[in-house]
Structure 1
Amino acid sequence: MTLDLTPDELLSTTRAVRRRLDLTRPVPRELIEECVDLATQAPTGRNRQRWHFLVVTDPGRRRAVADIFLRALAQASGQPLTGRDLWRMDYHPGSTERVFDGLRHLADNIHQVPAFVIPAIEGRTDRASVAEQAGTWGSILPAVWSFMLAARARGLGTTWTTAQAPLERELATVLGVPYDKVMLAAFIPLAFTIGTDFKPARRIPRDQVLHWDRW
């Protein structure tokens, strides 16, 4: 059963869900499979279809993966923030604080999340050119976003994280992934949501991001 959402509602209310994940309710395998089927309909560079989705629901394996997530999260630093970044992040007062509060809540409860989805793609971009990176990420990202939209339509919540990055090799080993040939692109907690009444996020105004004919 899917939610009665228009395409515009689906696109504007698919949020990064951290606080409102239902940690008590298992996610049926068939629902996840439906989301993957839709994800693989996404456009992909040169029709190479190199994406994969690793789903972790086994309790013991989830505990091991959650532990890696927490240790990787502690090591993650990300790119330095510019003044422009900080301006965007704080355009609506309190929004950044809410994001980090949600992340802390997710970290505190990560061991209870019923499913992890780890999208992967064949080929590594560690020292690749910008053109090759664009082709690789341009292939996996549409598929993952399609997965997240399909999940939202089925009452499931997701959030894109890249917290696995500092310990990607260790995570690959735990999951039996050939690290030298396959890149783990993200780490996505998946669960039913507590309520389905998500609303569009407040963003910076259109005139700050839209450029017409030239920058």
Structure 2
Amino acid sequence: MTHSSTTMPDEHTPQKATPEALLALLRARRSCRHYDPERPVPRGLIDTCVEAARLAPSACNRQPWRFVVADDPAMVARLRTEGKRLGIPHPWWSQVPVFIAVCVQRQVLTHRIAPMVTGIQYDLIDLGIAGEHLVLAATALGLGTCWIGWFDEGAVRRLMGLPKGLRVAALITLGWPDDTPPAGPTSRLALEDIRRWNTWG
């Protein structure tokens, strides 16, 4: 099947990106802790990020993720206040314009291979893949993000009115970066320190 220059390919049509462009995007991603609180993030851009998460793979295609986006100033203020009340050490939360609750629906694998893969939390693995899709899409749009694992799940559930069976696994902050001060360099282990061929030795 071919596409004319005016026809957009659908999500099932493979699209190629150069390795250089992909690596540049990965290197550009940072955990952003300085946001412009006066600059709102359009919902269309947020949906683009969530759409990237929607396209992530999952075990047996269960798609256990759900995303609750807090962009209403009153809701954002309540989340900030709750974090401050609990003594959670994220003072930069006062700048965050958008919080995204990364939620997971607890499910049981019913696939025929399920008895052979017990003890593996596929739903959390799936959630991490989808969440990073969201983060990378945000980076491509010029937005800043930060994964948050230290928060009070009960408080978030109560404020967002989440139903039973839906867990909050993480929060992702989202907004336009305030580059003052500029982001510092990041360090990563060298490739040779993390990769082995065929065996460990």
Find the counterpart in structure 2 of residue 9 from structure 1.
Answer: 24
The TM-score, its normalising length taken from structure 2, stands at: 0.76
Q: How does 1:75-90 map to 2 (within 5 A)?
A: none
Find the counterpart in structure 1 of residue 97 from structure 2.
Answer: 114
Amino acid in structure 2 at the alignment position of 1:120 = C
In structure 2, the residue corresponding to 1:27 is in which secondary structure?
Answer: coil
Q: How does 1:1-215 map to 2 (within 5 A)?
A: 6-19=21-34, 21-72=35-86, 74=88, 107-123=90-106, 131-164=118-151, 167-178=152-163, 180-194=164-178, 201-215=186-200
The TM-score, its normalising length taken from structure 1, stands at: 0.71
Runs of 4+ in 1 over 4 A off after TM superposition: 130-133, 197-200
What is the alpha-carbon root mean square deviation over aligned residues?
2.5
Q: How many residues are aligned here?
A: 171
- Structure number with greater CO (CA < 8 Å, separation at least 6) is 1
For structure 2, the 5+ residue unaligned runs are: 1-19, 109-116
**Relative to 1, partners in 2 of residues 1:206 and 1:131: Cα closer, same or farther, differing over 3 Å?**
farther
**Relative to 1, partners in 2 of residues 1:109 and 1:198: Cα closer, same or farther, differing over 3 Å?**
closer
Q: Which protein has the larger Cα radius of gyration, Structure 1 or Structure 2?
A: 2
More helix by share: 1
Amino acid in structure 2 at the alignment position of 1:206 = L
CA separation in 2, counterparts of 1:16 and 1:49? 25
CA separation in 1, counterparts of 2:80 and 2:41? 17
